[in-house]
Amino acid sequence: MDIERPLSANERIKSASNLLRGTIADGLTHAETGALADDDTQLTKFHGFYQQDDRDLRAERGKQRMEKAFSFMVRMRVPAGILTPKQWLKVEKLAVERANHTIRLTTRETVQFHGILKGNLKPLMQGLHDDLMDTIAACGDVNRNVIATADPWRRDLHAQVSDLAREISTHLLPRTRAWHEIWLDEEKVSGGMIEDEPILGRTYLPRKFKIAVALPPHNDVDVFAHDLGLIAIVEQDRIIGYNVVVGGGMGMTHGEPETYPRTGDVIGFCRPEHAVDVAEKVVTVQRDHGDRSNRKHARLKYTIDDMGIERFTSLVNERLDVKLEPARAYSFTSTGDRLGWVQEADGSAHFTLFVENGRIRDRMMAGLHKIAELGVGRFIMTANQNLIIADIPAGSRAEVEALLREYGLDRPVGGLRRNAMACVALPTCGLALAESERYLPDLVSRLEDELNRFGLRDDEITIRMTGCPNGCARPYVSEIGLVGRTPGVYNLYLGGAHEGTRLNKLHRRDVDGDAIVAALSPLFESYAKERMGNERFGDYVIRSGAVKETTAGLNFHENLSAEVGN
């Protein structure tokens, strides 16, 4: 990397922040504005929250020369997405008392609260902490929430991948006490005690860093979309180790071909007892070699493409006490969740609840409240924005079933909707170019009409929409991807693998709802007639020549431009 290039503004902010304190504490006391100081709004991400404003109100307030309608989005850190019923009730209480009365399950197995006013931040953080939850490092240039395959019915295997997610998350947490000082009024670290960041470094990582642990054949976590992925290798019902995947990432910018989504490369295998160390060493190589000048080029995927995967792997191996072994065979079959009941031999059961785009409100919130009040089982958030009520004892199943029915939470959902994800986008996301969460449900209804015509209602097809090219719902690894360009207008991508192992490619540029339906309907029809055996829609559109196959990485934009105007 060219060390002459100036550091990005964020590097300066981090460096001057006294290990992430900045002037956040002072900013909370300024009641005359709903906002925080500009530099602090970068630092708050490391504490798990973003300053936002209601974009539906922006123009009107601008006309009236009023301050923007500032509020905050807070994201929790919940490794492997597992909460107790008591914690769920606390999350709900905080959403009602301190936020906008909704709970938003994210694509990374956690909760976001929206619409929090500045004065509610501290009570919210304290409320979480009282029930052993936090928001530390949920955002920012650090390792984010670590996610793991959410298959509780696989018992020991699920316990092991969840434990690993927790261990990695804890191991890579920032060591600064800033969060505890600001939000819990913990006594300030002063004089005697020197804080340091032995793993992340005093200016933290060049950019966000994401880790997922997958338990094949279920790729619910989209392991190839992460900076670091660990694929459990199971032999005789035991995890004997993990294949190590590096360099995945989704974000890109329209019109900037030097930015691109990339699926990760498998670089080797490690034993379970070495997995945390592998995570640490991959993180430290990125810490030392990632681009700190250009934030659009700072993710691990670019570090790897710049230096080459062989050099990256050898740098990791140099730092490891036990080197990576050759990767083992594995196979994935799906990314979607298994909705509905799974019955265990011992009488206990699990129920996976479909939560459209992760937004929980009104009757769903009330029904989940009643279920959580039973005090049984666990609440597991999935990387598909759904919720599993896991480990329901035999004696409680009837009660849970009755509540699901009473609150209308057990209704059947068609194959496309089951596999649909949308990012938040408008009105809270400051980067949204188009609607997503508020629009995809209607578009799916229109597409379902088409699918019904061709007898495909129950076929599992993944469809993902984002309001901008940052890729928060991982649209580039879905069979049908829609990426916002301007209000009402999207780029349509096709041909990702159903099991999340292949990027899709641009099929139509700048299409509105009508044009999306018009483009997909004939493909659904021919798929229904021509598919071979259990062929997936994403594979079919490639075999049929509707779109050409693309591999990961640098050729994304080349394929993209070659296909424009199809």
Contact residues toward ligand SF4 (CB under 6 A) are 423-425, 429, 431-432, 436, 466-468, 470-472
CB nearer to ligand SF4: give 106 or 348: 106
Question: From the list ligand SF4, ligand SRM, none, which binds 230 (C-beta under 5 to 8 Å, kind-based)?
Answer: none
- The site that binds ligand SRM (CB under 6 A) totals a number of residues, namely 30
We find the least distance from the C-beta atom of residue 158 to ligand SRM, in angstroms, to be: 19
We find the least distance from the C-beta atom of residue 435 to ligand SF4, in angstroms, to be: 9
For 423, the 3-state DSSP assignment is: coil
CB nearer to ligand SRM: give 296 or 328: 296
* Separation of alpha carbons 325 and 339, rounded Å: 36
Burial of 269 (0-12, 13-18, 19+ CB in 10 A): buried
Q: Letter for the amino acid at 287? A: R
Question: How many distinct helices (H) and strands (E) make up the chain?
Answer: 18, 20
Binding mask 195-214 for ligand SRM (x = CB under 6 A): -------------x-x----
Residue 470 interacts with ligand SRM (CB under 6 A)?
Answer: yes
CB nearer to ligand SF4: give 58 or 155: 58
Member of 358, 377, 475, 496 binding ligand SRM (CB under 6 A): 358
For 143, the 3-state DSSP assignment is: strand
- Tokens linked to 441: 């449900």
Residue 78 interacts with ligand SRM (CB under 6 A)?
Answer: no
Please answer whether residues 72 and 51 qualify as being in contact, where contact means their C-beta atoms are separated by less than 8 angstroms.
yes
- The dihedral over CA atoms of 423, 429, 435, 436, expressed in degrees to the nearest 10, equals 10
Member of 14, 47, 75, 485 binding ligand SRM (CB under 6 A): 75
Residue 471 interacts with ligand SRM (CB under 6 A)?
Answer: yes
Rg of the chain over all Cα atoms, to the nearest angstrom: 23
We find the least distance from the C-beta atom of residue 295 to ligand SF4, in angstroms, to be: 14
Catalytic residue, chosen from 14, 75, 287, 502, is: 75
Question: From the list ligand SF4, ligand SRM, none, which binds 467 (C-beta under 5 to 8 Å, kind-based)?
Answer: ligand SF4
Please answer whether residues 434 and 485 qualify as being in contact, where contact means their C-beta atoms are separated by less than 8 angstroms.
yes
> Does residue 21 have an active-site annotation?
no
Give the bridge partners for 381, in sequence order: 387
Please answer whether residues 269 and 349 qualify as being in contact, where contact means their C-beta atoms are separated by less than 8 angstroms.
no
CB nearer to ligand SRM: give 17 or 436: 436
Catalytic residue, chosen from 301, 468, 474, 536, is: 468
CB nearer to ligand SRM: give 107 or 286: 107
Binding mask 500-539 for ligand SRM (x = CB under 6 A): ----------------------------------------
We find the least distance from the C-beta atom of residue 261 to ligand SF4, in angstroms, to be: 12
> Does residue 429 have an active-site annotation?
yes
> Does residue 423 have an active-site annotation?
yes
> Does residue 139 have an active-site annotation?
no
Q: Letter for the amino acid at 351? A: F
Question: From the list ligand SF4, ligand SRM, none, which binds 143 (C-beta under 5 to 8 Å, kind-based)?
Answer: none
Member of 22, 39, 43, 50 binding ligand SRM (CB under 6 A): 50
* Separation of alpha carbons 416 and 463, rounded Å: 7
Question: From the list ligand SRM, ligand SF4, none, which binds 468 (C-beta under 5 to 8 Å, kind-based)?
Answer: ligand SF4
* Separation of alpha carbons 49 and 43, rounded Å: 9
* Separation of alpha carbons 84 and 392, rounded Å: 12
Catalytic residue, chosen from 77, 208, 287, 508, is: 208
CB within 8 Å of 402: residues ≥ 6 apart: none
CB nearer to ligand SF4: give 204 or 490: 490
Residue 230 interacts with ligand SRM (CB under 6 A)?
Answer: no
CB nearer to ligand SRM: give 113 or 269: 113
Is the peptide bond between 427 and the residue preceding it cis, with omega within 30 degrees of 0?
A: yes
> Does residue 144 have an active-site annotation?
yes
Q: How far is CA 255 from the centre of its chain?
A: 24
Please answer whether residues 117 and 31 qualify as being in contact, where contact means their C-beta atoms are separated by less than 8 angstroms.
no
- Measured from the Cβ of residue 343, the count of other Cβ atoms closer than 10 Å reads 12
> Does residue 472 have an active-site annotation?
yes
CA angle 81, 83, 89 (to 5 degrees): 130
Please give the backbone phi and psi of residue 519, each rounded to the nearest 5 degrees, phi first: -75, -35
* Separation of alpha carbons 369 and 99, rounded Å: 17
We find the least distance from the C-beta atom of residue 104 to ligand SRM, in angstroms, to be: 7
**Binding region for ligand SRM (CB under 6 A) out of 194-202, 425-433, 508-516, 540-548:** 425-433
Q: How far is CA 35 from the centre of its chain?
A: 26
Residues that bind ligand SRM (CB under 6 A): 50, 52, 73, 75, 106-108, 110, 112, 144-145, 208, 210, 225, 249-251, 299, 358, 423-424, 428-431, 470-474
Which residues carry out catalysis?
Answer: 75, 144, 208, 210, 423, 429, 468, 472
